[in-house]
Amino acid sequence: MATFSVATASYGHGALGPGHEWARLNIQGDAGSLSFQDERALVFEDIAPRLIDLDGDGDNEAMVVESSQTQGSRLAIWTGEGRLAATAFIGNRHRWLAPAGAADLDGDGRIEIAYVETPHLGRVLKIARLEGDRLVRVAEARGLTNHRFGEPVIEGRIAICAGRPTILTANADWTRIVGTTLAKGKLAGRDLAAYMGPASFDRITGCD
């Protein structure tokens, strides 16, 4: 189990609206337990920790968004023993990223992580993979987003479309839904449907 606690206003960004910036990460599990807080350095700017077995060892890791007080956000992987891996911070305060999900996107038996870096500005879909104690970048594509500033939900999902794991996001101006797949280290996107609101992602023909 993993949770956030101790709501804080010390960072004051508001990407997810009020009440979604946290000072403490709590993890309890068979592999270990911890309670981590270092609010002077960073907060957790996220909806909730996402639990998934990223390395195939049978134990779930916690995937979270950390935001540095000075350098913006990064994606981090935690276990009950501590922080296992993290991407680089974006580099500027109040620059955020929105996780899109994790799955074996290219069929090689390893789990990839998808997230949108700066979904309100740069709108870059990035794919990373946990390799030991590092998150290694695999691929990226521009012009895609999954979050509107101030909204308490992250839109889109990873679905199975035409038999392939597909990352569903919006295009840059929120008019179309784009399905993006990964193969041989490259991303390919295709237009799937009109975007008519958050429920649009749940009713795309050919996607489960």
Domain-ending residue, one of 67, 95, 123:
95
The gap from C-alpha 78 to its chain's centroid, in whole angstroms, comes to 14
Task: Give the model's pLDDT for residue 137.
Answer: 96
Same domain, 66 and 111: no
Q: Token pair 């749940």 is at which residue? A: 202
Rg for the chain, CA atoms, rounded: 16
pLDDT in tens, the chain (208 residues): 999 999 999 999 999 999 999 999 999 987 778 999 999 999 999 999 999 999 998 999 999 999 999 999 999 999 999 999 999 999 999 999 999 999 999 999 999 999 999 999 999 999 999 999 999 999 999 999 999 999 999 999 999 999 999 999 999 999 999 999 999 999 999 999 999 999 999 999 999 9
Last residue of a domain, one of 68, 95, 122: 95
Together in a domain, 125 and 86: no
Q: Tokens 């049978």 belong to which residue?
A: 58
Here the tokens at position 120 are 């309100």
Do the Cβ atoms of 55 and 78 come closer than 8 Å? no
Query: Are 125 and 179 contained in the same domain?
Result: yes
- Kindly state whether residues 38 and 9 are assigned to the same domain: yes
Q: Do residues 29 and 110 share a domain?
A: no
For residue 118, give its domain range. Answer: 104-208
Q: Which residues contact 187 (CB under 8 A, 6 or more apart)?
A: 125, 127, 139, 140, 141, 180, 181
Judge if 111 and 184 occupy the same domain.
yes
Q: Judge if 55 and 109 occupy the same domain.
A: no
Q: Are 83 and 91 in contact (CB under 8 A)?
A: no
Residues 111 and 43 in one domain: no
Give yes or no: residues 109 and 199 share one domain.
Answer: yes
pLDDT value at residue 164: 96
Mark whether 108 and 199 lie in a shared domain: yes
- How many domains is the chain built from? 2
- Domain finish residue from 95, 115, 142: 95
91 and 110 in a single domain? The answer is no
Q: Note whether 110 and 196 are same-domain residues.
A: yes
User: Tokens for 179?
Assistant: 């399905």
